[in-house]
């Protein structure tokens, strides 16, 4: 366990980062964002970590957005710096070499929805609520919401959510593809852990490179993406994991992977 003020980080094969401001419904202030950034650097550098789970503390909220009390009196320059800090931290999550799963255990509003969007996979509890309420506060989503939401659910659904500032519940989030799965609140931890364990059993380089290829491909024309995939595919044939994985299949044996 690494010590922070606003978050908890547990580094192990399946690492967990908990945003720990339950009285403020885990709203993100500058300190929380800074600590999340530091935690992501630690995860990135830790060889043992195969998957990162991000969740909020308490039963009510994943993250209820950026901290409105801290944000209220910012001038345009400070607001832009705050947005850049948030974007840099969320981009670190999106490009972290390991897969990141959001365990959305309640409100995921504004910056909270954007935090979930920066993760690779989202599982939600039945009581989760998603929304981008920023236009009702006189601002627009500032931590990637206008970009990542449209890429994930399509621009029509993203525009409806962002223009109306409406909240949607977990089943609707599932319908539009905002989350991968919805489970009862008491089952969320278990469901996310099982998913993480399944990912952690696969060849780590292959999982990491698949993440990179998918992410890069989203920003490229198909032809370029396919070229990127082919180069990356070839690189795996210089790894022990490829040799062990294929040999084990042919010999009808199980194998464990070493990230080599």
Instruction: Give residues in contact with ligand DAK (CB under 6 A).
Output: 24-25, 27, 64-69, 79, 82-83, 86, 107, 109-111, 133-134, 137, 139, 141-143
Active-site annotation holds for 114? yes
Alpha helix ranges (H) inside the chain: 30-45, 68-71, 76-94, 111-118, 145-153, 155-164, 170-175, 188-200, 204-218, 222-235, 240-250
Nearest-angstrom CA–CA distance, 74 and 92: 24
| 197 is an active site residue | no
* Least spacing, CB of residue 83 vs ligand DAK, in Å: 3
Least distance (Å) between residue 137 CB and ligand DAK: 6
Q: Which is nearer to ligand DAK, 24 or 209 (CB)?
A: 24
Instruction: Identify the H or E element spanning 250.
Output: helix 240-250
| Selected catalytic residue, list 81, 114, 208, 240 | 114
Cross-strand bridge partners of residue 182:
124
Burial label, 190 (beta-carbon count in 10 A; 0-12, 13-18, 19+): exposed
Positive or negative: CA dihedral 39, 41, 44, 47: negative
What secondary structure letter does DSSP report for 141? -
Catalytic: which of 16, 47, 134, 223?
Answer: 134
Residues 6+ apart with CB under 8 A from 116: 62, 102, 104, 108, 122, 130, 179
| Residue 62 or 205 with smaller CB distance to ligand DAK | 62
Phi, psi of 129 (to 5 degrees): -130, 130
In the complex, what is the shortest distance from the CB of residue 23 to ligand DAK, in angstroms, rounded to a whole number? 6
Which residues sit opposite 103 in a β-bridge? 55, 123
In the complex, the smallest distance separating the C-beta of residue 132 from ligand DAK, rounded to whole angstroms, is: 8
Which residue, 114 or 241, has its beta carbon nearer to ligand DAK?
114
- Looking at the Cβ atoms of 16 and 134, the one nearer to ligand DAK is 134
Distance CA 84, CA 80 (A): 6
Closest to ligand DAK by CB, 27 vs 39, is: 27
**Cα angle: 249, vertex 251, 255; to 5 degrees:** 55
Least distance to ligand DAK from the beta carbon of 247, Å? 50
Report the catalytic residues. 114, 134
């Amino acid at each position: 366990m690494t010590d922070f003020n606003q978050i908890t980080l547990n580094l192990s094969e399946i690492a967990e980062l908990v945003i720990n401001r339950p009285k403020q419904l885990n709203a993100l202030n500058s300190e929380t964002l800074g600590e999340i950034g530091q935690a992501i650097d630690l995860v990135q550098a830790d060889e043992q970590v195969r998957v990162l789970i991000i969740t909020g503390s308490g039963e009510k909220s994943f993250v209820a957005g950026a901290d409105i009390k801290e944000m209220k009196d910012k001038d345009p320059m400070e607001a832009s710096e705050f947005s850049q800090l948030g974007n840099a931290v969320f981009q670190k999550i999106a490009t972290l070499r390991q897969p990141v799963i959001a365990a959305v255990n309640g409100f995921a509003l504004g910056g909270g929805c954007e935090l979930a969007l920066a993760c690779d996979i989202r599982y939600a509890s039945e009581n989760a609520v998603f929304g981008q309420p920023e236009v009702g506060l006189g601002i627009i989503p500032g931590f990637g919401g206008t970009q990542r939401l449209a890429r994930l659910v399509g621009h029509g659904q993203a525009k409806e959510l962002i223009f109306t500032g409406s909240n949607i519940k977990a089943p609707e989030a599932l319908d539009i593809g905002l989350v991968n799965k919805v489970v009862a609140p008491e089952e969320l931890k278990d469901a996310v852990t099982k998913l993480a364990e399944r990912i952690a059993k696969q060849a780590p380089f292959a999982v990491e490179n698949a993440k990179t290829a998918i992410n890069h491909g989203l920003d490229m024309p198909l032809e370029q993406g396919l070229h990127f995939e082919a180069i990356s595919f070839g690189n795996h044939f210089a790894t022990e994991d490829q040799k062990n994985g294929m040999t084990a299949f042919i010999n009808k044996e199980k194998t464990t992977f070493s990230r080599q």
